[in-house]
Amino acid sequence: MAEDADEKTEDPTSKRRSDAREEGNVPKSVEINTVVVLLAAVVFLRFSIPKMGDIVIDQMHRYWAMLTMVTAKSDPYELFLSLFSDSILILAKTALPVGLVIMVFGVIGNIAQVGFLFTTKPLMPKLSKINPITGAQRLFSMRAIVDTVKNILKLVIVGFVAWTTLKKEFPVFISMVNETTYSIAVYLLKLSYIIAIKIIMTLLIIAIIDWFYQKYESEKKLKMSKQEVKEEHKQQDGDPKIKSRIRQLQREMSQRRMMGEVPKATVVVTNPTHLSIAIQYEDGMKSPIVVAKGVDHIAMKIREVAQEHDIPLYEDVPLARAMYDKVEPGDEVPLEFYNAVAEVLAFVYRMQGKV
């Protein structure tokens, strides 16, 4: 029985999922991010390389022009500063756009998988991360084995795709011997683009499979035992014993407040065995009000308080039973009981010599 209670067979609750998300434990595939970033970078370079090439060539021409103008009287420091500033500028014009594309699509890849999530908890230091035993367990865990196999598989597949594509181009390589440097460069760039797209499409398949695996692995980790589900429900709903005690205290407070209203009653209608209904009516009131009601020992307590304050008791079994089921303390007497209550009040007033 203990083993069954500890076995994680239950689906995770919404609280368990929410807590895991706050901790940053969400199903996410690094492969998806890699593919998205690579595809964005390759496509961007495909259409921006001509412009980047023009920038680099123009800068090279400028360098050569500057070097041809160097004389013995030239200031080496100014020349170096000019070359350095030009290098920074060309780097900004060529590398910065690529970096921005990679950053933007890296963020998009994360958002596409886990939505908008910002948490610093994964960055918090944990002793388990520097524990050598825990580290060894992670090193030889099933996840580590899967990651190793996956990486080897990627290398094999990427190498195979690149090799088969290049193998088909061998005859073209031979024919390119007599071509100009520019033509060879254009051809190699186009070939590189084709190989990159094929590799990315292959990695995309691996990434999709990996995402489903990560989702399965995450769901498996979130599984709960029956005992954990019970403990969580207890934490959310409160300990049944504590809740019972709170309800008891609330009833006692309600009863004390109700007993405090009994001295205001004009008459207490009773069922001699176990019911008491305390009714208040004074001049100026629209209708009589039930200030207290009770059964068994509470009914007896109402009678005791009434007798202490010289409030008359009136025995009417049918009226007591009917009103107990339909009227709560603080309610006005319903119209259906007006005649019966009026008779009771008339009897009390005659007894007290008020009529």
Q: How far apart are CA 248 and CA 253, in angstroms?
A: 9
Average pLDDT over the chain reads 79
Confidence of residue 182 (pLDDT cuts 50, 70, 90): confident
Across the range 83-93, mean pLDDT stands at 78
Q: How far apart are CA 91 and CA 84, in angstroms?
A: 11
Confidence of residue 264 (pLDDT cuts 50, 70, 90): confident
Q: How far apart are CA 205 and CA 41, in angstroms?
A: 19
pLDDT at 67 over 70: no
Question: What residue spans define the domains of the chain?
Answer: 11-224, 261-351
Q: How far apart are CA 257 and CA 254, in angstroms?
A: 5
The predicted structure's pLDDT at residue 3: 46
Q: How far apart are CA 178 and CA 191, in angstroms?
A: 18
Fold of 261-351: name from scop (3.40.1690)
Across the range 219-231, mean pLDDT stands at 80
pLDDT tens-digit map of 92-105 = 888 888 888 889 98
> Three-state DSSP class for 126?
coil
Torsion of CA 79, 80, 83, 84, to 10 degrees: -150
Q: Which is higher by pLDDT, 182 or 120?
A: 182
Q: How far apart are CA 39 and CA 166, in angstroms?
A: 20
* Of 325, 348, 330, 350, nearest in space to 288 by CA: 330
Across the range 43-50, mean pLDDT stands at 83
Q: How far apart are CA 267 and CA 313, in angstroms?
A: 6
Contact 281, 266 (CB under 8 A): yes
Contact 279, 271 (CB under 8 A): no
Q: How far apart are CA 53 and CA 146, in angstroms?
A: 42
The predicted structure's pLDDT at residue 123: 56
